[in-house]
Amino acid sequence: MKQIIAALVLAPLLLLTESLWSAEKAPPQKATYTGNEACKACHPTQFEKFSQTMMGKIFLFNPRNEDERRACESCHGPGSEHVSKGGGKGVGGLITFRKDSGEPAKVQNEACLGCHQRGVQTYWEASPHASRGISCVNCHTIMQKTSDRFQLAKVGDKTPFFNKRAQIEVCGQCHLQRKAQLMRSSHMPLREGKLTCTDCHNPHGTPNPSQLKQASVNENCYTCHTERRGPFLWEHPPVFENCANCHEPHGSVNDRLLKVTDPRVCTQCHIASRHPSGPRPGKTISPFPGVTFGPSVFFFNRSCTNCHSQIHGSNHPSGIFFQR
């Protein structure tokens, strides 16, 4: 009888202890979505700027699915905890995209890749930019319109050739050497707005070297320089191998983007076999009286392409030396 009475007394105490323990161990309630009006109430300026962007016009005025309809919270995450605690930086576990937020690039990028995971973003995870911890917001801006293409960041309204020149400014933040090469006398026409960095490269990653859009350097060049593609009856091996053997694709101080001046670009391979470029006994050359030797007349102060005009390849039956 005493055992029964003890059990009846202790049972409620055990149940109460169990319930208190469960309450302490219970996971916190997940944050829920509050809607755009809650965001707008505290962040009217940011909301207005966002509404002018390409993303804002879709999310706020023409959403295609439930994720887009959430607008602010589709990127930052559910905001109920942020609102209930009175807001503020770092409050409520929202994903932040400011440069000074300390948010890991991987967390920021995962928010973007929730939608942008196809097309040019397919190879992002294996790209050099991703492996170096580059965040999407290092190149793109979300909260205000800075360009008409790709939501590019760090571009002012006074930038000449606004839409295309924007890419030089964004890519040039890190690729300083390439940006400097574009300022040389012979350069790819990016400064003039005729080309962009993404005409040749995919910054989000490719399976090709140097993030090229095509499978090789030559295939990249052939997208514009189709007349150089061939096949030719007489192929020039260095050309067939790699256009960059002779050319600096971003810019050069030499004509035609050559790495070195003509004829030196040729004499890197073609030394003294056909037209000797060294001393020739018995040959005198002005303005050095008394000198009894001099360079070949075919080489000195000449251009190889004066004669070998089809240097990229020839289909002429007698074009073995690329002279026709």
**What is the per-residue pLDDT across 62-83, written as a single tens digit (0 to 9) for each?**
999 998 999 999 999 999 999 9
Cα atoms in the 13 Å half-sphere on the side-chain side of 176: 1
> Could you tell me which of 75, 80, 66, 65 has the C-alpha nearest to residue 97?
75
Q: Give the span between the Cα atoms of 21 and 6, in whole angstroms.
A: 22
**175/230 same-domain check:** no
- Boundary of a domain, candidates 107, 139, 171: 139
139, 171, 196 — which closes off a domain? 139
Q: Is the residue at 288 inside a domain?
A: yes
212 shares its domain with 236: no
Q: Is residue 177 part of a domain?
A: yes
Judge whether 28 lies within some domain.
Answer: no
DSSP state of 228: G
By the 10 Å C-beta count (0-12 exposed, 13-18 middle, 19+ buried), 64 is classed as exposed
* 72 lies in some domain: yes
C-alpha span between 262 and 256 (Å, rounded): 10
Q: How many domains does the chain have?
A: 3
Cis peptide before 63 (omega within 30 of 0): no
Indicate whether 205 and 240 sit together in one domain: no
pLDDT, tens only, 179-227? 999 999 999 998 888 888 999 999 999 999 899 999 999 999 999 999 9
**Structural domain containing residue 49:** 36-139
Q: Express each pLDDT in 123-153 by its tens digit.
A: 888 899 999 999 998 888 888 777 666 778 7
Residue 8, domain member (yes or no): no
217 occurs within a structural domain: yes
Residues 187 and 256 in one domain: no
Residue ending a domain, choose from 139, 170, 187: 139
Q: Are residues 218 and 298 in the same domain?
A: no
Interior angle at CA 176, CA 170 and CA 181, nearest 5: 105
Q: Is residue 275 part of a domain?
A: yes
Looking at the fold, whether 45 and 102 belong to one and the same domain comes out as yes
Q: Are 304 and 298 in contact (CB under 8 A)?
A: no
CB 178 within 8 A of CB 171: yes
Q: Are residues 208 and 233 in the same domain?
A: no
